[in-house]
Each structure stands twice: as C-alpha cells, then as structure tokens.
Chains A and B, each alone.
Chain A
Amino acid sequence: GAVVSQHPSWVICKSGTSVKIECRSLDFQATTMFWYRQFPKQSLMLMATSNEGSKATYEQGVEKDKFLINHASLTLSTLTVTSAHPEDSSFYICSASGRRIYNEQFFGPGTRLTVL
C-alpha cells in the first residue's frame, strides 16, 4: 500500500520560534496533500489542501501567514508553523492522494508539536 511519512514525529519548541514539519509520500506521486490538526480527544480538522506546484487552499479560520504550506514536488509537502505559541500545540497530520488512487487519502503518522 501507499506509505506516507512525517518528520519529525514530535517536536518541542520555545514560544516565538518557527517549526517545519515534512510530509513525504514514499512510494507514489502525491498530486494533492492535506494538512490536518487534531486536538486531544477531538476529530481531525482540515487546515489546508495543497496541490503540487500551486498555492495551498486554506480552510476558513486558518491563518495562511501563520501556517505556511509548500508543496514543491510530487513527494514532499511542508508545513511551517511560524512564531509558534502555546495555543498552536497540537497533533498535526498530513495525508496524500495520487492520480491513480483517486479519493483515497493515505495518512502520515502525525507530528506532536508542543510549544512552551
């Protein structure tokens, strides 16, 4: 099956710093990648959708200047949390879908971000 990896799996940072999270599709070309945020005991909330080579589409209420998304290649998307604050602490999960796997998203293992 299709495999998606995320790096790092967890990160702790100081308030005010920026953190970059990578999402890679290991054995397929991901034309679309999705970034989700999950608070404890809650469901996944879609933050943004990114297509390779174009700007990401952000969901309502998500600050595009705070959560920078880059999808420069068919196997890599990055999410950068800029000037992180404690309220940004969360579990961030990416998923990817490809041309031959229409409508099925493959999820990464998630990244636990803790901002002190």
Chain B
Amino acid sequence: AQSVTQLDSQVPVFEEAPVELRCNYSSSVSVYLFWYVQYPNQGLQLLLKYLSGSTLVESINGFEAEFNKSQTSFHLRKPSVHISDTAEYFCAVSPTDYDKVIFGPGTSLSVIP
C-alpha cells in the first residue's frame, strides 16, 4: 500500500518570498509522483509530475519539485511566490503498474501581501 504525508497543513508566506511545501511518501513498489493545485471551489489542476528521467521537474509558473528516492520525498519549491499562488496543494503518488492515485492531506499556502 502507498501513503503520502504532507507535514505542513498551513504555510503562510510573504509575497516574493521563497516557499517549500514538503511531501514524503511510502511505497513498496515504484510510483509516479504528482503535485496538484486546487483553487477555492474548483477542481484539481496538475502542477507537475515525475514519471522517470531527470529528478527535477518544473512547472510553467515557476514551481519545481525534486524526486529524492533515498529520502522518499518530492518537495515542491518556488523561489518567489505571488498572491495568485494562494491555494491548496496536494501531493499524490500512483503505482507505476496501476492508475490509482493516493493523495496527501494537502497544504494550504497563503501568500501575504
């Protein structure tokens, strides 16, 4: 079975400051890793994903995440946040041989002007 831990339920950060949202997972099989973002009263949008290859993946809006197999982590980072980044962020894993996705509890990012 797989599980996902997001240690920080809420992360307040000032505008233009850097941020890191932590994600750790446990799995006995190989997994794909995802970060999803959810704006208020909306569905989920895929932010970035790691399937294979380079362990550092980037999104089009400045976020990046690095897959660390030894630490079973997939932390999300952004060097300078904007007000519009305020949202709920979910880390998720999916076994490579099955398309079921397991979500973490989520981290609420609040960007303070």
Interface residue ranges, A against B (CB under 8 Å): 6, 32, 34, 41-44, 46, 49, 93, 95, 97, 102-110, 112
Contact = CB atoms under 8 A, between A and B. Distances in A.
Interface string B97-110: 00111111110100
Interface of B: 32, 36, 41-46, 49, 51, 90, 94, 96, 99-106, 108
Contact of A93 (B44, B46, B49, B96): B44
B108 to A, nearest CB: 8
Nearest to A94: B43
Contact of B96 (A44, A103, A112): A103
Residue among B90, B101, B105 having the largest count of chain A Cβ atoms under 10 Å: B101
Contacts of B43: 6, 93, 107-110
Query: Which secondary structure dominates where chain A touches chain B?
Result: strand
A102 B100 CA distance: 11
Contacts of A104: 46, 49
B71 to A, nearest CB: 22
A32 B44 CA distance: 17
Contacts of A109: 42-43
Given A42-B106, A103-B32, A103-B99, 7 more contacts: A41-B108, A43-B106, A44-B44, A93-B43, A97-B99, A104-B49, A107-B45
A31 B101 CA distance: 15
